[in-house]
């Protein structure tokens, strides 16, 4: 039996594994009907708690082309979820005997990670709220790899709603890992979230640099453009720096996104004018050789006149989702060997067995489904202790740290807190919360009355 692997985040794959998947996808694409011998008798279960066209159908097409079968729950309102069944119980039932792999889409951020904790079979994240969409990212990277021959060092512009697009979040992490140069031209008010920017800084050495977007023309005229590029001399030497920032000389790909209105909150201002992309905008000096990408569905952000332009690859992009998802399924089911070093398990994730849930993100799975969910966090720093929710990746506000061994709690920045073993840490938002959870102040530190 192959080792159980999940695809919850794009981080679950090493760069050599990603490149190996591309090679297999290219082979599958040459004749998609020639691979039905790989997965006969195996079944994929599509659990879609949110609407989908391309992701669900491309996964189901991929499984069928591999010779397997498909179970579809495309409307979870007609399943036991409508009776209150938890996600954890659903995946245990489906993974028990019904299927061999689960493809999950869910509205709550971190849902796929929770499912992976309980599933006896591989779980594939097909989108979890505004968090991540790793298989779309693999599809997007595969398209760049085919169109440009490489990913490292290329220049990619990300435009539109960068705040709520889970596709963008996964994509930007992957581009940073490959060493690509990223230009953000967001719809005003819909910039990359703070937790995404923080992670880019901490894990990939990426710092935002003001960009001179004059050569992008109308596309960037109403936004503050910025570069996200690895801070290395050989990277920065590619740019011309002036009073307006790093000049954007050329672009290899422009990735457009629609407004993710289904995720807007009451605090979001209505959009009266959204970024537009047509032939006129694509005549900008730095965009003349750029391929145009979009995860689809689109609304009005890309004009139909661009469909016939040879630079537009968004329909090719959707079609190529089938061979890359064939490769993903065949790999997770142990039917192909990538023959490269796997990504080591991320040892920074820790489960909290006691104490209140420190995550306050209302769309996190730890808040929307409280049964079967233990708070999970990922340590970003030990000095001082700083952590992110292990489900939704939002930074956790925890000025106090409890220790399950001693029963004491300490200020986060204290020397004593730094000595607590990661698996004994409890994150606490206040002294009152610490006392209510059964912790007592450490010797010499009295709790505030």
- Residue whose C-alpha is closest to residue 106's, from 387, 376, 406, 392: 392
Handedness of CA 275, 279, 283, 289 (dihedral sign): positive
In the chain, the N- to C-terminal Cα span, in Å, equals 58
In the residue annotation, 133 being an active-site residue is answered as: yes
Query: Which one of the listed residues 5, 6, 24, 55 is annotated catalytic?
Result: 55
Check residue 363 and report its DSSP letter.
T
In the residue annotation, 55 being an active-site residue is answered as: yes
Q: What does R_g of the chain's alpha carbons equal in angstroms?
A: 23
290 in Cβ contact with 251 (< 8 Å) = yes
C-alpha 380/C-alpha 399 separation (Å) is 15
384 preceded by cis ω (within 30°)? yes
Angle at alpha carbon of residue 327, lines to 72 and 60, rounded to 5°: 15
Query: Which one of the listed residues 83, 273, 299, 339 is annotated catalytic?
Result: 83
According to DSSP, the β-strands at 240-242 and 245-247 are antiparallel
Query: Which one of the listed residues 19, 26, 54, 148 is annotated catalytic?
Result: 54
C-alpha 105/C-alpha 229 separation (Å) is 31
C-alpha 411/C-alpha 400 separation (Å) is 5
Using a 10 angstrom Cβ sphere, with 0-12 exposed, 13-18 middle and 19 or more buried, the burial of residue 435 is middle
In the residue annotation, 83 being an active-site residue is answered as: yes
Q: What are the residues whose beta carbons fall under 8 Å from the beta carbon of 30, sequence distance 6 or more?
A: none
Query: Which one of the listed residues 106, 113, 131, 133 is annotated catalytic?
Result: 133
C-alpha 168/C-alpha 192 separation (Å) is 9
In the residue annotation, 370 being an active-site residue is answered as: no
C-alpha 420/C-alpha 413 separation (Å) is 12
Query: Which one of the listed residues 105, 169, 177, 320 is annotated catalytic?
Result: 105
42 in Cβ contact with 100 (< 8 Å) = yes
Q: How far is CA 375 from the centre of its chain?
A: 20
297 preceded by cis ω (within 30°)? yes
DSSP 404-445: TTT-EEEETTSHHHHTS-GGGEEEES-HHHHHHTT-EEPTT-
Check residue 394 and report its DSSP letter.
P
56 in Cβ contact with 105 (< 8 Å) = yes
Which residues are catalytically annotated?
54-55, 83, 105, 133
């Amino acid at each position: 039996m192959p080792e159980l692997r999940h695809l919850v985040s794009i981080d679950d794959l090493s760069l050599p594994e990603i490149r190996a998947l591309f090679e297999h996808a290219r082979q599958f694409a040459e004749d998609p009907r020639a691979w039905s011998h790989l997965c006969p008798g195996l079944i994929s279960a599509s659990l879609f708690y949110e609407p989908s066209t391309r992701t669900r159908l491309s996964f189901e097409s991929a499984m069928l082309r591999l010779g397997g079968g498909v179970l579809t729950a495309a409307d979870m309102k007609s399943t036991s979820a409508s009776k209150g069944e938890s996600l954890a119980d659903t995946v245990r039932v489906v993974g028990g005997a019904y299927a061999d792999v689960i493809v999950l889409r869910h509205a709550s951020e971190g849902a796929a990670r929770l499912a992976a904790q309980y599933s006896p079979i591989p779980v594939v994240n097909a989108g979890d709220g505004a968090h991540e969409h790793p298989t779309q990212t693999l599809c997007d990277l595969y398209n760049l790899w085919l169109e440009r021959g490489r990913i490292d060092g290329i220049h990619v512009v990300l435009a539109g709603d960068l705040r709520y697009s889970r596709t963008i979040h996964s994509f930007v992490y992957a581009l940073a890992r490959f060493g690509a140069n990223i230009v953000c031209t967001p719809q005003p008010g819909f910039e990359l979230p703070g937790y995404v920017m923080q992670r880019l800084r901490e894990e990939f050495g990426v710092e935002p640099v003001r960009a001179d977007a004059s050569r992008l023309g109308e596309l960037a005229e109403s936004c503050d453009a910025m570069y996200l590029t690895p801070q290395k001399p050989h990277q920065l030497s590619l740019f011309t720096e002036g009073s307006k920032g790093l000049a954007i000389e050329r672009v290899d790909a422009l990735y457009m996104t629609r407004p993710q209105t289904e995720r807007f909150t009451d605090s979001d201002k209505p959009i009266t004018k959204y970024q537009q992309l047509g032939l006129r905008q694509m005549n900008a000096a730095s965009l003349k050789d750029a391929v145009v990408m979009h995860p689809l569905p689109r609304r009005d952000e890309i004009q139909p006149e661009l469909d016939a332009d040879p630079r537009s690859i968004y329909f090719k992009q959707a079609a190529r989702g089938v061979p890359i998802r064939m490769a993903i399924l065949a790999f997770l089911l142990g039917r192909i060997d990538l023959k490269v070093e796997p990504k080591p398990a991320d040892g920074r994730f820790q489960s909290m067995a006691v104490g209140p849930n420190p995550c306050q993100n209302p769309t996190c799975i730890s808040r929307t489904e409280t049964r079967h969910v233990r708070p999970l966090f990922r340590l970003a720093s030990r000095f001082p202790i700083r952590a992110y929710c292990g489900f939704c990746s939002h930074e956790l506000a925890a000025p106090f740290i409890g220790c399950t061994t001693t029963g004491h709690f300490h200020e986060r920045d204290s020397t004593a807190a730094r000595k607590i073993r990661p698996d004994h840490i409890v994150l606490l938002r206040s002294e009152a919360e610490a006392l209510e959870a059964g912790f007592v102040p450490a010797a010499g530190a009295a709790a505030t009355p």
